[in-house]
């Protein structure tokens, strides 16, 4: 800094002006406003039958530990030798036995279902299959998205159990869930139907979206598999829904978002159905007055006409 000042002072004395210019500008231009680049719309295909591998791993691990427990017993059941058979202590060994006895029937029953190799049964007797969570990346572009689910109803199961529930899980507490939509499923296993579920990805908002058979969202003292296994009637216990595949599409362009809101037919009745479901969620499951819905539908129609 000192040398620069001395050089500048000396140059001023010599030239009466200062140092010679070091840069020359020919011209300057500016451009704008630059249009914001829209995120590229993508379609992600998910094959939920991969969840079967989780069931297989859990079943094989439990089977192995049960066999080790039997070997330990056959060897005399000496607690000093527990580590030779893969156990930390006696309580660990006995717990492995209890887990096997509690899970074996249900895990094997799921694995024996032929379509578990090509899709996912929403089976409440097994924790790994009681729901399917779609975890989206944290840096995913915000906007409107669409989840498409190819799904069918299991034969001979009650119609009241054929409702698919779509929820989002809080990024802070995965057990804090909000209902997004429910859909009744009538299609057969031979000819599944595609159910469309619109949702939003918001800044700092949920990135986990879950599919499950319709049930209360409140926490229970006993696990869902534990409660379900106590049910004697197979029609009330065994899986009622089967998912073939899942697609996530988005972020949707403006035209796609409008077509989803308006429904495939573009009629006000479709828009009313969507608005009623969103209003129900906004009012925390308290149904809004019909007049309020009428105002929202009228507003939607006015905006639609205005382009």
- pLDDT tens for 170-219 read 888 878 899 999 999 999 999 999 999 999 999 999 999 999 999 998 87
Alpha-carbon distance of 205 to 192, in angstroms, equals 32
Report residue 256's pLDDT band, with 50, 70 and 90 as the boundaries. Answer: low
Q: Tell me how far apart the alpha carbons of residues 36 and 174 are, in angstroms, rounded to a whole number.
A: 34
Interatomic CA distance for residues 269 and 200, integer angstroms: 22
Instruction: Give me 247's structure tokens.
Output: 């697609």
Report how far residue 157's alpha carbon sits from residue 220's, in angstroms, rounded to the nearest whole number: 25
**What average pLDDT does the chain have?**
88
- At the top level of CATH, the class of 42-48+120-216+232-250 is mainly beta
Mean pLDDT throughout 77-100? 95
| pTM summary value | 0.74
Q: Is the pLDDT of residue 38 over 60?
A: yes
Q: Where are the alpha helices (DSSP H) in the chain?
A: 2-15, 51-74, 90-111, 224-229, 234-237, 254-262, 268-282, 290-305
The domain segmentation of the chain, as residue ranges, is: 42-48+120-216+232-250, 50-117, 263-302
Q: What backbone torsions phi and psi does residue 225 show, to the nearest 5 degrees?
A: -60, -40
- State both tokens at 301: 């129609």
Reply yes or no on whether the pLDDT at 274 is more than 60: yes
């Amino acid at each position: 800094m000192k040398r620069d000042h001395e050089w500048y002072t000396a140059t001023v004395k010599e030239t009466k002006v200062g140092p010679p210019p070091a840069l020359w500008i020919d011209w300057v231009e500016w451009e704008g406003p630059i249009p914001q680049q829209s995120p590229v719309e993508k379609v992600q295909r998910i094959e939920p039958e991969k969840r079967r591998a989780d069931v297989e791993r859990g079943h094989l691990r439990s089977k192995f530990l049960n066999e080790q427990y039997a070997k330990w017993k056959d060897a005399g059941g000496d607690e000093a030798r527990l580590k030779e058979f893969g156990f930390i202590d006696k309580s660990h060994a006995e717990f492995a036995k209890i887990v096997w006895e509690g899970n074996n029937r249900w895990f094997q029953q799921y694995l024996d279902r032929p379509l578990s190799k090509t899709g996912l049964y929403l089976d409440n007797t097994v924790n790994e299959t009681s729901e399917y969570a779609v975890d989206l990346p944290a840096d995913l572009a915000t906007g409107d998205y669409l989840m498409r689910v190819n799904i069918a109803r299991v034969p001979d199961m009650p119609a009241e159990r054929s409702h698919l529930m779509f929820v989002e899980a809080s990024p802070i507490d995965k057990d804090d869930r909000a209902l997004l939509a429910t859909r009744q499923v009538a299609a057969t296993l031979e000819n599944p139907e595609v159910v469309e579920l619109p949702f939003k990805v918001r800044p700092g908002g949920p990135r986990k979206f879950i599919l499950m058979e319709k049930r209360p969202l409140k926490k229970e003292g006993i696990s869902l598999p534990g409660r379900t296994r106590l049910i004697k009637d197979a029609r009330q216990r065994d899986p009622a829904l089967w998912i073939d595949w899942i697609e996530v599409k988005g972020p949707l362009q403006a035209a796609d978002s409008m077509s989803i809101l308006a429904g495939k037919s573009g009629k006000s009745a479709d828009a009313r159905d969507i608005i009623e479901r969103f209003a129900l969620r906004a009012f925390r499951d308290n149904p809004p007055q019909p007049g309020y819905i009428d105002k929202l539908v009228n507003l939607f129609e006015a905006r639609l006409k205005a382009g």
